[in-house]
Chains A and B, each alone.
Chain A
Amino acid sequence: MSGVRVLVGTRKGAFVLTSDGKRERWEVNGPLFGGWEMYHLKGSPVDPNRLYASQSSGWFGQMIQRSNDGGKTWEPVGNKFVYDGVPGTHQWYDGTPHPWEFKRVWHLEPSLNDPDMVYAGVEDAALFRTTDGGQNWEEMPGLRRHGSGPHWAPGAGGMCLHTILIDPSNPKRMFIAISAAGAFRTDDGGTTWQPINKGLRSQHIPDPDAEVGHCVHRLAMHRSRPGTLFMQKHWDVMRSDNGGDQWTEVSGNLPTDFGFVIDVHAHEPETIYVVPIKSDSEHYPPDGKLRVFRSRTGGNDWEALTKGLPQKDCYVNVLRDAMSVDSLDKCGIYFGTSGGQVYASADAGDSWNAIVRDLPPVVSVEVQTLS
């Protein structure tokens, strides 16, 4: 019997939502780590019972928790994130140099083939890796030492490395994204990196076509087509069909092309999902209507998905790590809101139900499809 496990990170703890393959009845477990900010939880693709969680607090700093039994029990592992060598400086909001300072782990990306290897995207932006199940973390310094590093600047939410995509066809290739530096790619397993931001345009920065300085909110990839990437940028929905070498805008008929999340249907690599947000100064859906937009053509042509979602007086946000998909048939789509709802669709977005409505503000949603 198949099943689904949804790992939800919130501002005040983590929740594990489980259902069988029908995805009609849900069990809600939590809060785990109550009172802590849970930026992200994710399971190993090769061992679904091996979970990792980023637990942080403005008081007590960063913890990493690991579960070996699918989230029933947890143990704290290593929390020492120290930049390699002399950290140097990046650009501060006022344009002055500012020392790199570790703040928190935004995203944990387990290896595709080793449950003890995990990548961590952190604020201030850097990429760390563990090869011993989280006990020890080492920076992969080639990214931060890319020549553009001193020019990276934080977005409003901090200078975070929030997206890590591993190419399933080429273990040497990974993609990451940083707000507000942009997207980067390695083709040598993380030793060296290159910015992949050609075609992005960001108004209100000194050079709208600059190599770095773009506020990329999220990248997504279908594992069968790792050369095709989708991006929700601060403004603009973009796609690349050459591993990020060149991007083209596919915002098309979206009511607004600002937003945070973007994801790809598990079985249809040209079917993508976004949640348009009115603007960067308002951070809620247009017209008080919470709508997921789906494109079956890889962008440009979008349809609003509204059945089961509030269509009036709704002013929540959906943050960048708060959408995920399962791999059942039909594909399930999930997202969480700043209002504490976790919505699920068991029919690829045609209709929606709230699994749970009153959690703390949701920061991240990850889905595991269990056999």
Chain B
Amino acid sequence: MVRVVLPAHLRTLARVSGDEVQVQLNGCPTLGAVLDAIEASYPVLRGAIRDHVTEKRRPFVRFFACEQDLSHELPNTPLPDAVVSGAEPFLVVGATAGG
């Protein structure tokens, strides 16, 4: 299981309590796989993190793990070992912007 930290608005949409959720990955543990798993577990988040059709990250959503910015990485980028093992969470972050 991979630990995922969601921003507050997405936790509200997904109706989860606490800061973290856990998702089960299918196949190789990649950036794309964790996003697929989040959307599979919480279908309401489809379209909120990445575009429905292009699957491009929404501009004001960023991905971090193990103090690395993964926002610009390709979907087949492997997740850090510490995320795969559950030692560290994968963070979905709403960019600090706007008012």
Q: Enumerate chain A interface residues (CB-CB to B < 8 A).
A: 35-36, 57-63, 76, 79-80, 82
Contacts and interface: CB of A to CB of B under 8 A. Distances in A.
B47 A59 contact: no
6 contacts: A60-B9, A60-B13, A60-B94, A62-B47, A63-B48, A79-B52
Nearest to A35: B9
Interface in B1-51: 7, 9-10, 13, 44, 46-49
Contacts of B47: 61-62, 79-80
Interface string B55-81: 000101100000000000000000000
> Per DSSP, are chain B's interface residues mostly helix, strand or loop, or mixed?
loop
Given A60-B48, A60-B94, A80-B46, 8 more contacts: A59-B94, A60-B13, A60-B58, A61-B48, A63-B48, A76-B44, A79-B47, A80-B52
A79 B52 CA distance: 9
Interface size grouping (class) on chain B = 10 to 19
A139 to B, nearest CB: 13
Nearest to B99: A11
A60 B95 CA distance: 10
Given A60-B61, A61-B47, A76-B44, A82 B52 contact: yes
A58 B10 CA distance: 13
Interface of B: 7, 9-10, 13, 44, 46-49, 52-53, 58, 60-61, 94-95, 97-98
Contact of A61 (B53, B58, B95): B58
Closest 3 interchain pairs by CB? A60-B48, A59-B60, A59-B94
A61 to B, nearest CB: 5
A58 B13 CA distance: 15
Contacts of A60: 9-10, 13, 48-49, 58, 61, 94
A62 B48 CA distance: 7
A59 B47 CA distance: 11
Contacts of A57: 9
Nearest to B61: A59
Contacts of A63: 13, 44, 48
Given A76-B13, A82-B53, A58 B98 contact: yes
Contacts of A79: 46-48, 52
A36 B9 contact: yes
Nearest to B8: A35
A114 to B, nearest CB: 25
A62 B47 CA distance: 8
Contacts of B46: 79-80
A82 B47 CA distance: 11
A162 to B, nearest CB: 22
A61 B58 CA distance: 8
Contacts of B60: 58-59
A214 to B, nearest CB: 31
A82 B55 CA distance: 13
A99 B11 CA distance: 32
A59 B13 contact: no
Q: Which of A58, A59, A61, A80 has the most CB of B within 10 A?
A: A59
Contacts of A36: 9
A59 B98 CA distance: 9
Nearest to B48: A60
Nearest to A55: B13
A61 B56 CA distance: 13
B52 A59 contact: no
B54 to A, nearest CB: 10
A80 B51 CA distance: 9
Nearest to A62: B47
A277 B98 CA distance: 27
A20 to B, nearest CB: 32
A36 B10 CA distance: 11
A125 B98 CA distance: 24
A59 B48 CA distance: 8
